[in-house]
Amino acid sequence: MIIVLKPDCSEPQLKHILEKITEMGFRHEVSRGVKRTLVGVIGEEDRLRNAPLRAIPGVEDVMSVLKPFKLASREFQEDASVFDLGHGVSVGGGNLILIAGPCAIEGEQVLFEIGRAVKEAGANVLRGGAFKPRTSPYSYQGMGEAGLKILRTVGDELEMPVVTEVMDPRQVELVNRYTDMFQIGARNMQNFNLLSEVGQTNRPVLLKRGMSASVQDLLMSAEYILASGNKQVILCERGIRSFDNSTRNLLDLAAVPNVRGLSHLPIIVDPSHATGRPDLIPSMALASIAAGADGVHIEVHNCPEKAMSDGPQALLPDQYAELVAQMRAIADLLGKTIPAPGDAVTV
């Protein structure tokens, strides 16, 4: 930590600052410049970060030198993390996951049809929501456990790993019985008790970036899960809020290489929620692969005009199949692999 003193910081104030630093158990180093005096504070970073140094009279600013995340950092682990999702599908270190499926689970028949279509197109993880975090209390809230059962059944039939959202610490045990990967939605990225709860399972967690979260905030939320004992966190960029409402959110694709520099954790992209517009999703999916993402998450529905949730942003299975072919070509170019799940489906 570096303390910048106010230009009018008095000698007694400086003395008090140095005493406080010593009292807190840190070392200090004073550097007198032409216009400002600086005090370097040396000690254990976490304790430093939590010390209310800025509240001491005479202090103008406190600048941090280190990043606040540790277990999530590249410095902690040099090599890219690779996680196994089951059915032969892994993510990270050159393995891409293509997650696809409807926004909400609506029934076994429709999920099976969509699932079979996306698997044939090349998807390797099936998604579907049983608990839906909706802005309005009057919107469809999901099928709950019945939906989870359907998801599990369809995933097993298709031999695909499945992912579904968990919204509440009280649901973690239940959801854990049915899913291969938890999804934490953007609105819950800083629901710290939920993070701790999934952090106590040994199930991979797909952590979506909050709409007002910086890349560092995202990594700090990952840190909560890691610090609770679960090392399997996959990050997901899905757009942040901006002033331009021509897209639902603003996809921050630079977060992909940005995270890759800072962390060993895989990061995928969700162009469906980021843009909310089927005409933009394919371009953004291709761009995601080119940018080095470890996967892409896309909503697909076989009849968007009948979907219970987010129909207008779903791709049709044919559009998805065409897109996967293009993504595969770019992945090949970059030497990436898209694992095929299970055996061929014989239905």
**Residues 27-56 interacting with a second copy (rule: CB under 8 A):** 29, 31, 33-36, 38, 40, 42, 45-46, 49-50, 52-56
Q: Binding to a second copy by residue 187, rule CB under 8 A?
A: yes
- Please, which residue, 43 or 86, has the CB nearer to a second copy? 43
Q: Binding to a second copy by residue 172, rule CB under 8 A?
A: no
Residue type (1 letter), 21:
I
Instruction: Report the b/e string of 132-162 with b at 16+ CB within 10 A.
Output: beeeeeeeebbbeeebbbbbbebbeebbbbb
One of 79, 279, 335, 343 touching a second copy (CB under 8 A): 279
Structure tokens at 313: 């942003």
Q: Binding to a second copy by residue 335, rule CB under 8 A?
A: no
One of 13, 153, 176, 247 touching a second copy (CB under 8 A): 247
Are 235 and 265 in contact by the 8 Å Cβ rule? The answer is: yes
One of 11, 79, 138, 346 touching a second copy (CB under 8 A): 138
Separation between Cα atoms, residue 297 and residue 272, nearest integer Å: 7
- Sketch the per residue contact string, 204 through 223, with a second copy: x for CB under 8 A, - otherwise: ------xxx-xxxx--x--x
Residue among 346, 345, 344, 339 at smallest CA distance from 84: 339
Crossing angle of the two packed helices 192-199 and 215-227, in degrees rounded to 10: 50
Select the span of 79-87, 91-99, 116-124, 302-310 touching a second copy (CB under 8 A).
302-310
One of 15, 25, 134, 229 touching a second copy (CB under 8 A): 134
Rounded to 5 degrees, φ, ψ at 205 are -125, 125
Number of chain residues interacting with a second copy (CB under 8 A): 100
Instruction: Please report how close the Cβ of residue 161 comes to a second copy at its closest, in angstroms.
Output: 26
- Please, which residue, 85 or 262, has the CB nearer to a second copy? 262
Range 46-105, binding a second copy (CB under 8 A):
46, 49-50, 52-56, 61, 63, 65-66, 68, 75
Q: Binding to a second copy by residue 329, rule CB under 8 A?
A: yes
